[in-house]
Amino acid sequence: MSFDAIYRIAGSAMNAQTVRLNTVASNLANADSASASAADTYQARKPMFAAVYENGELTRGAGMGGAHVQVLDVVTSGRDPVRRYEPGNPVADRDGYVYYPDVNQIEEMTDMMSATRSFETNVEVLNRVKSMQQGLLRLGEA
């Protein structure tokens, strides 16, 4: 029986999407945190996903089976912060400049929607598999 593999796969995907949602929230929350130097400025984060192939008991020889998702790493964007002239800002440097993180809000919002949708897809997979298993348990009942 390979229901446990499906639970593992859907669970890993939900976990990965949660990490992604976490980084989106962090990016959006820090979009307006100004700082005095480019080095101190917050950098947008992004998770990297990778597929890890399962080797089930039945499918070992044939190389069949599913693949769960692993979050390899969370990387920073590496993009240069935006320099803005705001002499009134308390953290402005000597020339009156502050640095804002280069967070593309539209990009983050679409990323958020995509992550939510993927999460919901996997919840739906879990629901379906649950009803499949329940049907199997009721096998032979009147």
Partner 1 sequence: MSIRIDEALGVHSRALALRMERSEILSANLANEDTPGFQARDIDFAAEMQRLDSDSHQLFASTSGPGLKYRVPTQPAQDGNTVELSVEQAQFSRNAMDFQTSLTFLNMKFRGLKQAIEGR
Residues that bind partner 1 (CB under 8 A): 1-3, 5-6, 9-10, 12-13, 16-17, 20, 49-51, 54, 56, 58-59, 61-69, 114-115, 117-118, 121-122, 124-125, 128-129, 131-132, 135-136, 139-142
- How many angstroms separate the CA atoms of 103 and 54, rounded? 36
Q: How far is the CB of 95 from partner 1 (least distance, A)?
A: 41
Nearer to partner 1, 67 or 109 (CB): 67
Q: How far is the CB of 67 from partner 1 (least distance, A)?
A: 4
CB of 127 to partner 1, least distance (A): 10
Phi, psi dihedral angles at 137 (to 5 degrees): -70, -30
Residue 58 beta carbon to partner 1: minimum distance, rounded to whole angstroms: 5
Tokens 């945190």 belong to residue: 33
Write a three-state SS string for 16-75: HHHHHHHHHHHHHHCCCCCECCCCCCCCCEEEEEEEEECCCCCCCCCCCCCEEEEEEEEE
Residue (49 or 97) nearer to partner 1, CB: 49
Contact 79, 44 (CB under 8 A): yes
Of 36 and 125, CB closest to partner 1:
125
Identify which of residues 106 and 142 has a Cβ nearer to partner 1 in the complex: 142
Which residue, 43, 49, 44, 56, is CA-closest to 15? 49
